[in-house]
Structure 1
């Protein structure tokens, strides 16, 4: 019999449910949490409750329960970042349920241990990029490739799938939205077609960052494909007919799952859609602080700290650049010293 790893929310103790509700509707002046963060917190607390239940303890915060939870996390094949996420969720709830401050500090100490271990680990995306290096250009090329396949496809289901795949690849290469945000795009609401241009108006479900403006003209044929799917017709007429439906949907205009959209993306470059934000930061790394700021805006990231998580090669690039500058300075100093030595020898002779 399989052991349940997380207790579902409907089985949470009332005190914990109320704490979650307070996170969803914080008092004035308190930090608000995104839906993604709330769900992550529920998952982490569910992991804690399942662990204490397995240990035969009460469904409450206690020193024994936390010890059992730490042992449970350490016994499982989890990355330190995952352990940290779960424990941070418990820390957030501990504060909400008025768990004693001195005991909360013990949770923070364990969080710091996991954080230190996490920093020593090589991130998964670093290893995957090393094994299969790609750039934004590769994703754009994949979009062109799959659009060509869609135009050649005879089977209507394959044609629809390929057109959606190419459009998603093209969109992500130019506008690195979060997967859930891209999947929620609705024609006429978030995406509006005016003339021969498409306009994007959407607020990130995680950061609440607002994208509001025209999309690059190179995306127009790909988005138009999702109206016509290779058939003859007027795009604007199809656009009016499709208003209120999801951009990515089946033949009944029912929304696709995010998992389906992600799987289609991964077929092309061999990476999940999440890699795009890292590629954007990498592409802008040569432009220093200005490039980092542009990348952060493109990715819809409000927090500078969160944006830095997506930088892999940026720090290395800056270090190399600094070394090159130092080398040039040293070279200049050496030339100046040799010139002075020659001048001194000339004077003496």
Structure 2
């Protein structure tokens, strides 16, 4: 599909879909594990499901090690999946290389985090873009067509005049310019989906906004679907239409970006939003730090993904953990404040909260922390207790 055909396609059409996507990496076996019937694996991604829609940005948010980049590489089919399905326009796809893989990446392109590492330092911008155009059959039929295509790509990513950059090497460009070249290389395939794996985290703060505005403009003008992977939930609110939060390889909350970032439901999402810089919370007197019996909220390390905890994977760090959280994996539960807002948290199951009476807290629960209400107040605001 060409860019003109992509722009004419209906907005919100599902282009790429992950269904129960799972990836386990085998661990090198030690001598004592040779006779084990269940080899150890790293549970990098478990049961991840979402859809990328044309003309919309979906943000995948979480701390380092939560499985975000693994999801991007699974969708790019760089990693083979352990379980689940990847559907392109509703059709299940599994490619291993050769022409099927080339046909797939013509429609789904990956933008990596570090532009200096993703560009060959001994080749010019002209080489990188020409190779992309020729591999995907968009170089035209002669030198004149190729030069025109190169000029269009650089103009599309706001590197003008093109003649100034075509014969430059990566080390001669700034970080923002290198990332724009990487985006132009991806656009050389005329893709329908861009998988942006933390595209601004390696850039100076002063130029991050320019790259995000560029991706926003490409989304609107070319009507493509974008997966935006980041650990900065504040930028997800600014840039993305939908936000999905991941923790320890699992999805814990999802919904439209404004709701997820302004009214977070899951305790982990609340910790993410509280960790984002906010001038209104800087008072100099420690206000906004929720301490109960001398403990900070969310204190501790992420769990081992070789032997993840049973039940909710966040329960060892959760200030509202209940008995059921330690045994049963929570399903997606509708919050009810906005359409499509959900959280994988037993706090929003009335039966579970009612069964966990105030006097029968889990052994590790802090008695100074009162149990949260069962679900949602009448005005639709999640009742987990404000930490700000």
Structure of higher CA gyration radius: 1
**Higher RCO (C-alpha 8 Å, min separation 6):** 2
Identify the TM-score tier after normalising by the shorter chain.
under 0.3
Report the TM-score, using the length of structure 1 for normalisation.
0.26
Higher-strand-fraction structure? 2
Higher-helix-fraction structure? 1
